[in-house]
Every structure is written in structure tokens, then in C-alpha cells.
Copies of this chain bind each other. A is one copy, B any other.
Amino acid sequence: MDDIPFHTAHWLNTDHPLTLADFRGRVLAVEVFQMLCPGCVLNGLPQAQRLAQTFQERDLAVIGLHSVFEHHAGNSRESLAAFLHEWRIRFPVAIDMQGEGLLPQTMAAWGLQGTPSLVLIDRVGRMRARHFGQVADMALGAQVMELIGESSAG
């Protein structure tokens, strides 16, 4: 299996950079967001926080990916750090690496349509879902549990 591309420029809420391999053996939920995107603030990020509170850490990891494709000047690293502090977001957040084009590199490589997007990666490192916009809590809880129930033997 080929590895999923994951290009990060910086990390917040963690004292060392992470790779997707660090989460192997667990299900991983990646909340792809922009701090100035209303749907991310109102729906995506609070749902990611509920994921982190609902499931056990040994079963599910939750991280954020700040994928800025508009208003770059208003989305500085300092702004994001203050935003995470004020909104009480504790899980690790990566800043997606800017590339040559409009979209940052990871967002482009993953073929995402915009923010918020919730990406689910299974225990053996395969991307299993890319939810753009809103997904209901009940359906998401069921889907995450289904992935948790799978073997990590691959």
C-alpha cells in the first residue's frame, strides 16, 4: 500500500511534528479547516472535538489540518495559535504546506473540495472517507465505530 501524502509546514498543540505513520494501528480523523471559514467554526471543529471526547484515545486519534486557500494574510500562524487557544481546541493541528497552485499541497493531493472536510483513515493507513460540509453526528459515530471494529492486521 502506498502512503497517503501529508505535507505539513508547522504543528501546533504538539511539541514535535507528526506523520500519518504515527497513528498506524488506530483510526485517524483529520478535520481539514480554515480558521476564517464559518462552517468550520460552527460545525466542523466542534464535531471534531466531540469525536475526541466520545471515543477512546487508543481507538481514535483526532487532528486538525489548517488548509488555507484564501485570505492568506489574515491566516497567519499567530492568528491560528490564538484561535486554537480561544476556541479551546486541544488536539494537534498541522498547517498544510503551501505549494505552487491555489490549494495547499495536502489538500490538493487528497482531492478535497473545500473546508470543512473530515477525512477518516483506517487502522492500516487507508483513506476511507472524505466528508465535505456537514455530516450528522449519529452517522459519523457509526462510521468511526465501524472502522474501529476492523482488524489492524491489514
Q: Which residues of A contact B (CB under 8 A)?
A: 36-38, 41-42, 50-51, 54-55, 70-71, 73-76, 78-83, 85-87, 136-146, 149
Contact = CB atoms under 8 A, between A and B. Distances in A.
B71 A86 contact: yes
A79 B75 contact: yes
Contacts of A54: 136, 138-139, 142
A29 to B, nearest CB: 12
A76 B75 contact: no
A39 to B, nearest CB: 10
Contact of A138 (B38, B41, B50, B82): B50
Contacts of A139: 54, 141
A137 B141 contact: yes
Contacts of A74: 76, 78-83
18 contacts: A38-B87, A51-B138, A54-B136, A55-B142, A71-B78, A73-B79, A73-B82, A74-B79, A74-B80, A75-B79, A79-B79, A137-B138, A137-B141, A138-B141, A141-B142, A143-B145, A146-B149, A149-B149
Interface-centre pick from A75, A78, A85, A87 (highest chain B CB count, 10 A): A78
B142 A37 contact: no
A10 to B, nearest CB: 15
